């Protein structure tokens, strides 16, 4: 079995020590996409293990440490996409060309800084509440569902630029495998967590639908930055929903 697509997916989405593929063939980027949910599971297990191990620590400190691990393990990749998207959506003033142009600017404006700050605060609060309620196991599901959004986005949404890494992924995406892993992510969550998994899966689809509609209306597709923003928005939404569900179960 050729594991190079898995290694490539791991190296693209994380800072974890995945082996480096010796040769990256033209189709390897596309073949790596169906492995994205598996990378999400790995991240989820890492984060859930840290949350469980830090349960005896002050919840605020434990949440900060887990959040630092979460951001480090992903290399802030999706946060960068969120920042670029925030600046572009505010500065683009409903112009497709201007929005795409701003996304290429490596500098971060007030919209980017504010958005990242709010997302990190929300994540910290959600992590703290879940650790305090003894529900750190839910962390396994959140990165899985968030990264299952990526193959779904490539399956259903055109790439907004003429060229780019994602254009190669879309062009060479194994569609049957991508649909299979996307559907499997939701099924796995339901099997693991019952109605909580069902609720989280439903929220994932709602965030996807709203985000995709926004992308189509503004830039007629997606970019790597908007895909990263989708992951961050999904993770934040699922964390906050999970807190509500955990509180309902353990009032």
What mean pLDDT value characterizes the chain? Answer: 93
21 vs 17, residue with greater confidence = 17
Q: Which residue in 73, 95, 92 sits closest to 13, CA to CA?
A: 73
pLDDT at residue 228, rounded to an integer: 96
Classify each residue of 136-172 as buried b or exposed e, where b means 16 or more C-beta atoms within 10 Å of its C-beta: bbbbbbbbbbbbbbbbbbbeebebbbeeeebbbbbeb
Distance CA 59, CA 248 (A): 19
Tens-digit pLDDT profile for residues 75-116 = 999 999 999 999 999 998 888 999 999 998 888 899 999 999
pLDDT at residue 107, rounded to an integer: 84
Q: State percent of the chain over pLDDT 90.
A: 82
Distance CA 103, CA 98 (A): 9
Q: Is the pLDDT of residue 27 over 90?
A: no
Domain boundaries, the chain: 34-162+175-249
Tens-digit pLDDT profile for residues 194-242 = 999 999 999 999 999 999 999 999 999 999 999 999 999 999 999 999 9
Quickly tell me which residue has 């709602």 as its tokens: 206
Q: Is the pLDDT of residue 249 over 70?
A: no
Q: Is the pLDDT of residue 250 over 70?
A: no
209 vs 163, residue with greater confidence = 209
154 vs 170, residue with greater confidence = 154
Distance CA 202, CA 217 (A): 23
- The CA-based angle 107-40-248, given to 5 degrees, is 100
pLDDT at residue 238, rounded to an integer: 98
Distance CA 183, CA 74 (A): 23
């Amino acid at each position: 079995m050729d594991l190079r697509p898995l290694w490539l997916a791991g190296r693209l989405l994380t800072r974890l020590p995945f082996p480096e593929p010796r040769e990256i063939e033209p189709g390897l980027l596309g073949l790596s996409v169906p492995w994205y949910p598996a990378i999400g599971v790995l991240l989820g297990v890492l984060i859930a293990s840290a949350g469980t191990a830090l349960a005896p620590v002050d919840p605020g400190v434990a949440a900060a440490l887990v959040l630092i691990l979460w951001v480090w393990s992903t290399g802030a990749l999706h946060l960068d996409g969120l920042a670029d998207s925030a600046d572009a959506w505010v500065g683009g003033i409903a112009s497709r060309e201007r929005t795409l142009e701003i996304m290429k600017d490596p500098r971060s404006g007030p919209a980017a800084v504010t958005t990242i700050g709010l997302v990190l605060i929300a994540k910290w609060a959600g992590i703290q509440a879940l650790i305090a309620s003894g529900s750190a196991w839910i962390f396994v599901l959140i990165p899985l569902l968030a990264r299952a959004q990526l193959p779904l986005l490539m399956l259903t949404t055109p790439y907004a630029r003429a060229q780019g890494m994602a254009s190669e992924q879309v062009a060479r995406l194994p569609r049957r495998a991508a649909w299979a892993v996307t559907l499997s992510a939701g099924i796995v969550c339901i099997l693991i967590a019952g109605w909580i998994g069902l609720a989280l899966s439903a929220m994932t689809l709602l965030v996807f639908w709203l985000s995709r509609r926004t992308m189509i209306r503004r830039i007629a597709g997606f970019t790597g930055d908007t895909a990263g923003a989708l992951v961050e928005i999904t993770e934040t939404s699922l964390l906050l929903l999970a807190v509500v569900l955990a509180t309902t179960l353990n009032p």
